[in-house]
Amino acid sequence: MDHTTGINELEFCSLDLETTGVNPAFDRIVEIGAVRFTTAGVINEYQKLVNPGVSIPPNVIKIHGITDSMVEGAPLINDILDEFYEFFKGAILVIQNPRFDLSFIERAFHVRDGKSPELKAIDTVNLAQKHFPALPNHKISTLANHLGLNLQSHRALDDAIACMSIFTEVIKGRGLITYGELMRMHGDMVRPGLRYSQGSTREPWRRLVIGKDVKIRYKDTDGRVTSRIIHPREFIQYGKSSYILAWCYLRESERCFMASRIVSIE
């Protein structure tokens, strides 16, 4: 992108996801909201409920209000991934805390195709912290209230609209004219936080090998330790945590195991 390009010549796309949890290594998307826009106004909107293929936890339903019955007849992410990509392709992504949303999008592409398009975004939290330093925090609900927006928090399209509004307010308030001025204020764009490996992992689970059955002793979230045979398929790094995506013969399903909870390998 030429840094001398005028901001009013560019197309942007704000987007937001609602999910079954906070970890893109194994949680799923349940709603997508996006707005394609320029500094002159909205070009188009995109909103879809998504069937995650798993039950939505009650504590998560309390946050966004999306229930299993609401997504029962909705498409799977694979059914709409291409049309969603076509909606935002070629636009500069604008997202509140983008590493979260980009990681879920990248994961969806990776699970389907083994690869993902290049994803990077401008972070409205970054911009808001610099433009609204006096606010008590820079959550999207706080920023939306500050701007007088009457929107439903924690629903994807409304949060995407709020994100667009925050971005355009900063652009106009700071008098930014070129893409270069925007980038100097923002800094480097944010990218997804997932990493993948097809080789053997490091300690303490270094003996795990992709494609080779292994018996492990695993501690669940309640502290119970069970022995199970798994078939590792993929190693995933998200933040400081490592995960093993594997077929679990005990549960007869694909599971994502946190590496730090593997007590021993037999």
Residues with catalytic roles: 154
Residue 262 and residue 217 in contact, taking contact as beta carbons nearer than 8 Å: yes
**167: three-class secondary structure by DSSP:** helix
State how far the Cα of 95 lies from the Cα of 127, in Å rounded to an integer: 11
Residue 150 and residue 83 in contact, taking contact as beta carbons nearer than 8 Å: no
In the chain, the N- to C-terminal Cα span, in Å, equals: 53
In terms of phi and psi (left: phi > 0; alpha: psi -120 to 50; beta: otherwise), the region of 208 is: beta
Alpha-helical runs (H) found in 20-174: 58-64, 68-71, 77-88, 98-113, 124-131, 140-146, 156-174
Residue 168 and residue 179 in contact, taking contact as beta carbons nearer than 8 Å: no
State how far the Cα of 137 lies from the Cα of 26, in Å rounded to an integer: 29
Task: Specify the amino acid at residue 90.
Answer: G
**52: three-class secondary structure by DSSP:** coil
